[in-house]
Structure 1
């Protein structure tokens, strides 16, 4: 689309030349600039905290549209919007209407405009689809409190044999009293909180309604969905965890969902939140889904950066990707990340160490799959629990009261004026510029974006090294995790002969014969 726009603009400019008495000598038209290759990097946005265009202190969809050029300059090729549906909570993970926009965020027309403008820039857009449960303020649930209502069976209710004290697979109370509006003694299933009653996916009407909701957003311009609590559709109780029957029912539903969405857009992208501690437990979901968030890898990357040791990261990744490929095919379908809206921010996990932050980012952005960045991560934003402190306003200007800054929550004083887009754009050595450079590497070196993975024999436990090959080119990525220069042998039998430093995050990396030397806290790509 970028190429077609450039061609149209060229035609208009040529047609607008003034007519002269004699024709001017023919000149070769300048070639339209080629569209940049996608990076495959996604960026998670909490709309409430992003950018405010109407002055009410709350971020909105038009604010996302207003900052698409920032996202394009960063180099991301997709954005994930946390829930934008109407909801009684600030976070939106308890939906009351699946085919509407939270009025604080705007309108359906605003979303369509956002999608159109994102697509013009080569940016895909996915939204959070929260369909394991609804809000207890949902009209469906309010109707379901009447046992004679057809909506009653849209939820799960306790019977006389139910242990009302049972915990849930999410670690909280499973059953909740329905309250005064319901028939006496009714209890419903809500594995997260009482405000989030679980939908009953054994009811075909529920399945049809959720597929319909997905199709609705695809028709409005969404490219896919982030599937909240994807494993919990049928994994509700502690005894369901690791139960093959619960897994089979989950996969059956997501396959049905996939078929329903593909009927509208066969290129729909689905990424699942599957909170499991091992790649072998994530892999089954790659049959119906395009990717799942790699939670165990996030822990490994941060531990490696913090300890300055690879801790067997390369071989662990070899095994993980083998498990993925056994299910999902040759292409590595993965969604690596460092943190998200439920976890303490990366810079806080790394105790504010800027070098460790850069190391973690460099590892993330040289891995297979499609990496995810949480908004503000590229600035080094700090944030520790409770959850609202992880979702604070994005800092655009040095001044907190500048136009567009959201004010729904007071920001952490530790995230001062220096942790802002304005300040970091002005500093060529900032973390923002570091992230931008790494993301653009994925556009410039196809093997980093599309290649497979093979761990490289490290010469030191302070190095993490892996090969990325896309069938046309093979590159070697080496990360020095430590505060001391490191060397590594390049004459490993059976390995390609690397002779050129193609990319490096800082100066000084060099190849001397068959030995690579890498300065402290530096990442390099060899060809």
Structure 2
């Protein structure tokens, strides 16, 4: 039978016209109603040899995965040409688990065998997410729009290493007073100016007392590092930042202290003093190593103490009630001092359980307690954690009232890899993952940080690539964090000291950082890549960053909007939409080696009302005409006429309603909410602001057919959906002259 498959398909592919262009083909199958085999889910067909996977119809070579755990398994393949392909899904890795494809949605191969087919002719082709063994497809999921955002979702943060930012007293080291002198560069406090960078949050790397240059081994949690200045200097900086509208969070090293901390000195002196159990001790060497094979048990005075990073950083024992109480006092101290929150270092190692050192239940429980202390002290305080792991392992840190945000390392890697490799596939896939598995918008985006080679090194000093990477992460969902000097193209590669070199302010001596010899030599590229030189060049990387940050601040959709993937007619083009209330920002980026004329993009569905929308290029301010969205809030094959998307160029387009079906300019003033949404039963309709008099309710389906029409009084109404089929519906409420329309998803 396999031979017949091959002969048949060799004959049909040319008949249907194989195209001489590369195709990205995505297979998807809904396994939510199946018990998935331990051997995984596979797809087999006559595309496999073309995709470089050996022979066709191999049930074990093409594995699908479900990274976001929604029951939809998928795989994306690159084919040198397109055409008509036959395939079927396999629950497992042998033909025994092959699905029986119904004849109604399959093709008989002539031997009584029914296969699915896909005509992959577009540069990005995707099969529907069929339910395994059926002709049914998974319902189109309308993005959730009733989610909360917070002040940090409006912020752009800037990571500062104080020692390397600006030296005010000519000792070769940066300090708080130097930071104050440079605040106007970061944000001058005047929203009408465009000469400052425009950041609205600062993350200070460790600034507590420490014997090391980096500060991650604290000797006094209640004192500032003397190299940086006094507590009064820090308070002056804090006030100056706040006066400019800049929030300040500080690094909080909760996992370990310095071995020179008085607590540890006492703890190590003998086995019976009151500080002994503030750290983790063993009379013998337990012998096991850390996650990377590193030594974690270190000898001291005939015993061994636990320190996951190195001997100079003994881990704190969070099982000790006195230690915990003291650290909660430290937490309150800095919040009461005026800081706006914390970045938590090495959060996944906080509370180990024997050999289980990462992501333990004890750590999750500890963070819930930490959250109570933080929010109880300062309700608006913000926490972000460094859980350097894959996305699935990071998500628990931002669930169940633990941390507000965590850094998204996999997304950072995907941005850089896609830009470097001129291929948006890995970024497209990772964007899809993070925007499904995290609480909406609650993760930190960045390119590199103080523990990684600088982005200028990672991208080979390629300025167009640098601009593209910046354009992407500053328009994505999440909360962006810039690493100081990134915006002027500072270099830096391991060791860590060389990733944390002095900031490059001018082309003059010591890059304008200090009049004395800096604590670390300046970078070799400072003469061209510095603030002074780039400020004067309208096309510089620095001015690109300034423009992007200005755009982000001005557009609620880029700060609060959800992400919706868009497809493109060109495999090298990545496009996505950020949607908030009745506006959208559409991002279109060219990763290819050639320019793309009149790029063609499509949006399957969104919460935007149908109607005509004005299109504006936010970077240039130019009008780009109009686009019409259909009843699904989407658009098919929108050709952005007259535009040539250059290599590495990113368009940032705003869609503003000019005419939208049934919607007034004051649409959101009713504050309409539907919950639950999606729903399988009754839905509560709630008006966030008091309504005046009688309200009119109309529910209609995607074809415009009215299902229900009624009037109600007050601010709430219960909608009964019994008898409705699964799918998308529109709920419109009018109160006086004000009208609001929301989408409702019904699932059965």
TM range (shorter): 0.7 to 0.9
Q: 1:510 to 1:48 in 2, by over 3 A?
A: farther
CA distance in structure 2 between the partners assigned to 1:515 and 1:55 by the alignment: 58
Secondary structure of the structure 2 residue equivalent to 1:192? coil
Q: Give the distance between the partners of 2:518 and 2:624, measured in 1 at CA.
A: 44
* SS of the residue 1:193 aligns to: coil
Give the gaps of 5 or more residues in structure 2. 1-151, 188-195, 628-636, 656-748
Are residue 425 (structure 1) and residue 535 (structure 2) matched? yes
What is the aligned counterpart of 1:351 among 429, 446, 460? Answer: 460
Match of 1:370 in 2: 479
- Residue number in structure 1 paired with 2:280: 156
Alpha-carbon distance change, 193 to 521 in structure 1, aligned in 2, over 3 angstroms: same
Contact 2:587 2:652 in 1 (8 A): yes
Structure (1 or 2) with the greater strand fraction: 2
8 Å CA contact 1:39–1:440 kept in 2: the answer is no
How far the C-alpha of 1:56 sits from its partner, in A, is: 0.7
Q: How does 1:16-415 map to 2 (within 5 A)?
A: 40-72=155-187, 73-145=196-268, 146-160=270-284, 162-164=285-287, 166-169=288-291, 171-178=293-300, 182=301, 185-235=302-352, 239-241=356-358, 246-277=359-390, 279-287=391-399, 288-325=402-439, 331-401=440-510, 404-405=513-514, 407-413=518-524, 415=525
Asked if structure 1 preserves the Cα contact closer than 8 Å seen for 2:153 and 2:479, the reply is no
Larger deviation, residues 464-473 vs 486-495: 486-495
Shift in Å at residue 302 of structure 1?
0.2
> Matched residues in 1 for 2:622 and 2:507: separation?
30
Whether contact under 8 Å (2:567, 2:574) holds in the other structure is no
1:16 maps to what in 2?
A: none
In proportion to residue count, which structure has more helix?
A: 1
Residues of 1 paired with 2:335 and 2:496: CA distance?
Answer: 30
Q: 1:57 to 1:74 in 2, by over 3 A?
A: same
8 A Cα contact 1:61 1:111, kept in partner: yes
Q: CA deviation at 1:438?
A: 0.5
CA distance in 2, matches of 1:393, 1:236: 40
Instruction: Tell me if structure 2 keeps the 8 A contact 1:315–1:455.
Output: no
Counterpart Cα distance in 2 of 1:281 and 1:150: 36
| Cα separation, 1, equivalents of 2:387 and 2:260 | 26
In the other structure, the counterpart of 2:109 is none
* Counterpart in the other structure of 2:616: 501
Q: Is the 8 A contact 1:38 1:77 kept in 2?
A: no
- SS class of match (1:99): strand
> Structure 1 residues 172, 505: CA separation in 2 closer, same or farther (over 3 Å shift)?
farther
Higher relative contact order (CA 8 A, sep 6+): 1
Q: Which moved more, 1:471-480 or 1:355-364?
A: 471-480
Q: Retained in 1: the 8 A contact 2:503–2:513?
A: no
Q: 1:424 to 1:237 in 2, by over 3 A?
A: farther
* TM-fit CA distance, 1:404: 4.4
CA distance in 1, matches of 2:172, 2:304: 39
Q: Who is 1:479 aligned against?
A: 589
CA–CA separation in structure 2 for the residues paired with 1:402 and 1:380: 13
Q: CA deviation at 1:193?
A: 0.5
Contact 1:169 1:238 in 2 (8 A): no
Deviations 1:189-236 (A, max 9, x none): 010010000000100111111111111111111100100000001247
The 3-state SS of whatever aligns with 1:381 is coil
CA–CA separation in structure 2 for the residues paired with 1:106 and 1:509: 52
TM-score, normalised to structure 2's length? Answer: 0.61
Shift of 1:511: 8.2
Cα distance, 1:269 vs structure 2: 0.5
2:551 matched residue in structure 1: 441
Q: How far is 1:107 from its partner?
A: 0.9
* Aligned-partner SS, 1:69: helix
The answer as to whether partners of 1:336 and 1:364 remain within 8 angstroms in 2 is yes
Q: Is the 8 A contact 1:61 1:106 kept in 2?
A: yes
Residue of structure 2 equivalent to 1:24: none
Which TM-score applies when normalising by structure 1? 0.85
Is the contact between residue 506 and residue 522 of structure 1 (CA under 8 Å) also seen in structure 2? no
Decide whether aligned partners of structure 1 residues 38 and 196 sit closer, same or farther in structure 2, where only a CA change above 3 A counts: closer
**Number of equivalent positions:** 473
The alpha carbon displacement at 1:506 in A equals: 11
Q: Please list the CA deviations of residues 413-464 of structure 1 after superposition, one character each: whole Å capped at 9, or x if unmatched.
A: 2x23111111111111110000010011111111011111111113223212
Task: Determine if contact 1:39/1:75 at 8 Å carries over to the other structure.
Answer: no
Q: Deviations over 1:164-202 (max 9, x none)?
A: 3x2113542110011xxx3xx211001001000000010
- Pairing 1:447-462 to 2, within 5 Å after superposition: 447-462=557-572
Name the CA shift for 1:520/1:504 in 2 (closer, same or farther; >3 Å).
Answer: farther
Matched residue SS, 1:479: strand
Task: Quickly say closer, same or farther: Cα 1:188–1:505, change in 2 above 3 A.
Answer: farther
Partner of 2:148: none
Q: Distance in 1 between matches of 2:260 and 2:350?
A: 20
Aligned to 1:20: none
